[in-house]
Amino acid sequence: MRFPKTYHLENIAEIIGCSFVGAPDFPVLGMNEIHVVQVGEIVFVDHPKYYDKALNSNATIILINKDVECPEGKALLISDDPFRDFNKLSTYFRPFQASSNAIAETAQIGEGTIIQPNVFVGNHVKIGKNCIIHANVVLNDHTIIGDNVVIHAGTVLGADAFYYKKRADFFDPLISCGSVVIEDDVTLGALCTIDRGVTGETRIKKGAKIDNQVHIGHDTVIGEMCLIAAQCGIAGCVVIENHVTLWGQVGTTSGITIGEKAVIMAKSGVSKSLAGNKIYFGAPAEEAREYYKHVAKVKNLVK
């Protein structure tokens, strides 16, 4: 998430009440998660396992819970609880806005778009031309929809990420302030749920077709012309490249990539990144031909 203007390091430290390492006027342009963070943005890290990854990432400002040597050209925000303070920044720069109308006054709706009854269109939502938004769809704040998009009844875009830190006696949510972006010519089936990015975006690219009751987690990217059948569950931070097919009830773990033109057969469980141009089956998913060989060997063992 980019801030509406450039802030200084001392401004950010004051907002969250922490010390800093770097010039007081060091520029801060925004904040993001480590897998999408850009130069000029803040990333947080609160576990020694990930210190090096954060310090060597694209992030220019690292919100960290240890006084470490600051890399050249970067700055540090020293906090006793970076997770908490990252949430403070999310709340400060993009606070929750209550809506008083079914279609917010700040929403933009393109020419020729049809909005059916009981649709909720949140603050700063943008909908392109010639779309059909069926009954009872929810488009939460900052959702962006291209042209010629069809969204069937009951689908929800922009719910919070399923992302929690376990405290001593409760689960602490990482506040979501990102968005969902649906590109041109996408069709979303009924009762789909697409979570927004934590600070970035969840994106479904041009021409993708998604069946009923599909869940897509935060910050995931679905490529162009993908086909995703009913009841698939795609975790957060997944990259599905162009022309991939997922048949019914496929599930994935987070943070993986499925390569271009891969086909994942029904009921498979994807536990790691998979190369493109191959057909996969099983849990964990492997090349379908290899899976069937294994099944044949097992059958021969019991004869």
Domain boundary among 58, 93, 128: 93
Which residue ranges in the chain fall short of pLDDT 70?
302-303
Domain boundary among 33, 67, 93: 93
Beta-bridge partner residues of 194: 157, 216
pLDDT at position 39, please? 97
| Best CA proximity match to 174, nearest among 20, 30, 32, 13 | 32
pLDDT digits (tens, 9 = 90+) for 121-137: 999 999 999 999 999 99
Count of C-beta atoms within a 10 Å radius of residue 220: 23
- Residue 125 sits in a domain of what CATH number? 2.160.10.10
Whole-angstrom Cα distance, residue 56 to residue 164?
24
Tokens linked to 192? 């789909």
**Amino acid present at 193:** T
pLDDT at position 297, please? 85
Answer yes or no: is 164 within a domain. Answer: yes
pLDDT at position 303, please? 60
Residue with tokens 């599909």: 214
pLDDT at position 168, please? 96
pLDDT at position 216, please? 98
For the question of whether the overall pTM of this predicted structure is more than 0.75, the answer is yes
Answer yes or no: is 297 within a domain. Answer: no
Whole-angstrom Cα distance, residue 38 to residue 6?
14
Same domain, 183 and 218: yes
Same domain, 257 and 128: yes
pLDDT digits (tens, 9 = 90+) for 156-196: 999 999 999 999 999 999 999 999 999 999 999 999 999 99
The answer to whether 218 is a known catalytic residue is yes
Go through the chain and tell me how many residues it has: 303
* Residue span of the structural domain in which 126 resides: 108-291
DSSP string, 211-261: -TT-EE-TT-EE-TT-EE-TT-EE-TT-EE-TT-EE-TT-EE-SS-EE-TT
Q: What are phi and psi of 205, to 5 degrees?
A: -85, 170
**Given the DSSP bridges, would you call strands 179-182 and 156-159 parallel, antiparallel or unpaired?**
unpaired
Same domain, 161 and 206: yes
Tokens linked to 226? 């993908």
Whole-angstrom Cα distance, residue 122 to residue 137?
11
Q: Which of 134, 152, 218, 243 is catalytic?
A: 218
Instruction: For residue 91, give the DSSP letter.
Output: H
